[in-house]
Structure 1
Amino acid sequence: MMSPTSLRGAAEEQADRFPALLARAEHLAGAVLLGAHGRRRAGLGDDFWQYRPAQIGDSRRMIDHRRSAMGDQEFVREREWQIAQSVMLWVDQGASMRFTSDSNLPQKSDRVRLLAMAVAILLVRGGERVGLTGTALPPRRGNAQILRLAEMLSEDDTADYSPPEHRAMIPHARAVFISDFMGDLAEVELALTKAADRGVRGVLLHVLDPSEEAFPFTGRTIFESMGGTLRHETLKANDLKGRYLERLADRKNELQSLCTLTGWQYGLHHTDASPQSALLWLYGALSARVGAAA
């Protein structure tokens, strides 16, 4: 397992490849937070943005008399719309995430933590507030928050499958859920439904080991959960392949349908693929430039 320091270092390396991400909230009315990074739009804020010619309907208080005195036309001094968006992360830390089919591949847990940290770094650099779902680490800005995230994401859950956290959802915020989603789908449905009820839109990234897609097992095989609570032995593993792949396809379809119903974006990433590809997809999804897979 990565230490908090090495996790942050690896995440910084990934994040450095991309420009700072400004999360785009679809429903700003309920989550307007004055921040330090302007949105390059006219509105509430302290920093100067631009002068524009006065228009019918502008009050006299909006006129910048010093700029207007330089010519025959009156000008309005516009300020930046400074809005920091709250983004909440949920990263599956259950035992199932510690699986890897090859020593040359990262564990799913290492990959999802890396991606979560890289996204958090991009968001914080863009002036956003980032935290974890639930009450343990509310969204904040700054390097201190990045360190707290790295420390908390380095912890493991002893349960085979970790259910998504859905408490303390901030209305009209954004969220990122990253997991293999092998556990109880009802928990995912509950979390996304509660999020949607509070106007939270988000991104769901489905992370799988390549063997979980291919099912390359034949003959006598013992299947055991990473937490040791589930165990199944078969003499003909290849006979299970068809049923397994069908159930996996059903799980993907169910997750995609759930995302469609709740206004979330669904992405799929394999641990043998480049982490940059997944980070680019997350960048696009949070920026409303979403593709089909990661």
Structure 2
Amino acid sequence: MTETPALAPGLRVRAEAEAARLPPLLARADHLAGTVLLGEHGRRRAGLGDDFWQYRPAQPGDSRRMIDHRRSARGDQQFVREREWQIAQSVMLWVDQGASMRYASDDGLPHKADRARLLGLALAILLVRGGERVGLTGTALPPRRGRNQILRLAEAFSLDAATDYTPPEHRALIPHARAVFISDFLGDMGEVERALTKSADRGVRGVLLQVLDPAEENFPFQGRTIFESVGGTLRHETLKAGELRDRYKARLAARRDRLAALCRTTGWRLGRHHTGESAQSALLWLYRALDGGTS
């Protein structure tokens, strides 16, 4: 019998902390999803046609009747024959896990990361209940259906990145699928432009949701203030913080205008959410915006 090696003390603590976060996140996401009325059941795109689109390797969760036995007989791997409507049912998520998202200006407010993860997971629950496949951008978690996929998403969302800002992941986007990016979008705008441009080149349309803390919008700081990034890589001290307010707000507005212009160019939609606002209203906006039903 082979013994399983014991976890190092530090690794055990981190693993237990991450595992402890999953049930509360799942419970809150389930509850939030339950507050949003679905209207018509599902969001299937039968009108896009049943024409053949591509073969792809079979994945866990695919039913046996989806297997194309003629194509699979050419080798040792099983393949699924995908059609256009199946592609349209795939929604790919990217939720920013950078350190900048782990900020809250007040103990009564959630961290931006907590709100972003809650919205991303609740949206995935709604989509899966409606018959759609949901996954992550990149190669780690391809779109699938089912409760197990929700568990995988919850686990992925529980991870934190060490860097202050993480770029949107745009690899392995399924052509003509839909995507949702949730972030504060305070990092390198060039990376956001690259991600949306590559998405548009593949026919992917989607939604950007900018999540900000109220203090990041209002800039309520006065007098001597030390500004330091959550990751500790940036630091600025000033004796007159109030004098920075107008310049800060102008730069934030310019960044938002740039995001809006980028979305117009690529056919995406842009939304904004403050962590002091209702998560339910943000989730409803996201759900409708995927179908172009919200201005």
Q: Which residue of 2 aligns with 1:22?
A: 43
User: Is 1:137 the counterpart of 2:155 in the alignment?
Assistant: no
**1:63-99, CA deviations, whole angstroms, 9 ceiling, x for partnerless residues?**
xxxxxxxxxxxxxxxxxx9746110000000000000
- The alpha-carbon deviation at position 221 of structure 1 amounts to 0.2
Q: Which residue of 1 aligns with 2:158?
A: 154
1:236 pairs with one of 233, 240, 245: 240
- The alpha-carbon deviation at position 27 of structure 1 amounts to 6.8
Cα 1:30–1:276 shift into 2, 3 Å: farther
Cα 1:85–1:31 shift into 2, 3 Å: farther
**1:112-137, CA deviations, whole angstroms, 9 ceiling, x for partnerless residues?**
00000000000000110100000000
Cα 1:110–1:21 shift into 2, 3 Å: farther
Q: Which has the larger radius of gyration?
A: 1
Structure 1 CA distance, aligned partners of 2:208 and 2:22? 24
Root-mean-square deviation (CA, aligned residues, Å) is: 2.4
- Aligned 8 A contact 1:31 1:86 in 2: no
Q: Which residue of 1 aligns with 2:62?
A: none
Structure 1 segments unaligned to the other structure (5+ residues): 34-80
SS at match of 1:88: strand
State the TM-score, normalizing by the size of structure 1.
Answer: 0.79
Query: Quick one: which amino acid aligns to residue 279 of structure 1?
Result: L
Q: Which residue of 2 aligns with 1:77?
A: none
Q: Which residue of 1 aligns with 2:24?
A: 6
Moved over 4 A (4+): 23-33, 81-84
Cα 1:170–1:286 shift into 2, 3 Å: same
- Aligned 8 A contact 1:31 1:173 in 2: no
User: Is 1:209 the counterpart of 2:230 in the alignment?
Assistant: no
Cα 1:140–1:31 shift into 2, 3 Å: farther
Structure 2 CA distance, aligned partners of 1:26 and 1:248? 41
Q: Which residue of 2 aligns with 1:198?
A: 202
Report the number of matched residues: 246
Structure 2 CA distance, aligned partners of 1:209 and 1:27? 40
Matches within 5 A, 1:1-294: 3-18=21-36, 19=38, 22=43, 83=86, 85-291=89-295
Q: Which residue of 2 aligns with 1:46?
A: none
- Aligned 8 A contact 1:27 1:172 in 2: no
- Aligned 8 A contact 2:45 2:85 in 1: no
Structure 2 CA distance, aligned partners of 1:248 and 1:275? 23
**1:25-51, CA deviations, whole angstroms, 9 ceiling, x for partnerless residues?**
997768699xxxxxxxxxxxxxxxxxx
Q: Which residue of 2 aligns with 1:42?
A: none
- What percent of counterpart residues are identical? 64
**1:221-252, CA deviations, whole angstroms, 9 ceiling, x for partnerless residues?**
00000000000000000111111000000010
Higher deviation after alignment, 83-92 or 16-25: 16-25
Structure 1 CA distance, aligned partners of 2:124 and 2:53? 19
**1:240-289, CA deviations, whole angstroms, 9 ceiling, x for partnerless residues?**
11110000000100000000000000001000000001011001101220
- The alpha-carbon deviation at position 22 of structure 1 amounts to 2.0
Cα 1:24–1:177 shift into 2, 3 Å: farther
- The alpha-carbon deviation at position 160 of structure 1 amounts to 0.1
SS at match of 2:134: strand
Say which structure is richer in helix. Answer: 2
Query: Quick one: which amino acid aligns to residue 21 of structure 2?
Result: S
SS at match of 1:3: helix
Cα 1:108–1:21 shift into 2, 3 Å: farther
- Aligned 8 A contact 2:46 2:85 in 1: no
